[in-house]
Amino acid sequence: MASEAATKVALVTGSARGLGLAVARHLAARGERVHVVWRSEGASARLLRDEFGPRAHHADLLEPRDADALVRAVVERDGRLDHAVHAVGEYVSGPLESASLSDLRRLLASNVESAFVFFGAARPALRAARGRAVFFGTSGLSGFRARRTTAAYAAAKSALFVLVKSWALEEAPHGVTVNLVSPGHVPHEHAHPDTLDAELLGKIPLGRPGTPADVARAVAFLCSDEASYTTGTELLVSGGWLL
């Protein structure tokens, strides 16, 4: 077991449930000191406090003041921030003709603005630790292909991907890597019904849907020393979906 001083410190947003929580638990299981975040009070928040204790935080990551206070609390408690994982991002399904302007604004705020605010707050601590940042995309971004039912969501994630690549370029001189992990269909308790569509799941080339553990392992790899020369890239965790 690594010493307390050598143990990495991770901050995982969107960790009240779903894939963010799976990532937080996976990093904790491999020995990292993991901080988690919730936005809305409820049963999930109470469970986070029970499981992660003083490393569970409340913050609205659309508010720069909250994001700054969150990172400050992490560093004050554990002295550093090595891994920043941003698993925040609302999802909306349906054709563009049925999407409202408020839908688009909400998707951009949740998926892009929150990432911008979060990375701005985490950047100084990550530079100090020569750390890793990982954001969540969605499969199929690299081809900028048309979408029938997820165009607004994919547009928001595409904007995030441009930020990720640009942050990677800016932060490379500081030793900070910035990458995107893009899941495909990953059923879980809080997943959107689209993820549970048997017809879609049957089209996955590897023959099965993904699991939260698949995604958590991919994030852990991007946070590891083995990925220290990997930056500005998208790691697909989709079983070959959209090949």
CA atoms within 13 A on the CB side of 189: 7
- Residue 1's pLDDT band, with cuts at 50, 70 and 90, is very low
Residues sharing a CB contact under 8 Å with residue 192, sequence separation 6 or more, in sequence order:
91, 93
Residues sharing a CB contact under 8 Å with residue 19, sequence separation 6 or more, in sequence order:
87, 136, 183, 186, 188, 212, 215, 216
pLDDT tens sequence across 86-142 = 999 888 888 999 999 999 999 999 999 999 999 999 999 999 999 999 999 998 777
The catalytic residues are 153
Average pLDDT over the chain, rounded to whole?
Answer: 91
This prediction has a pTM of 0.92
pLDDT tens sequence across 38-62 = 887 777 788 889 999 999 999 999 9
pLDDT tens sequence across 162-173 = 999 999 999 999
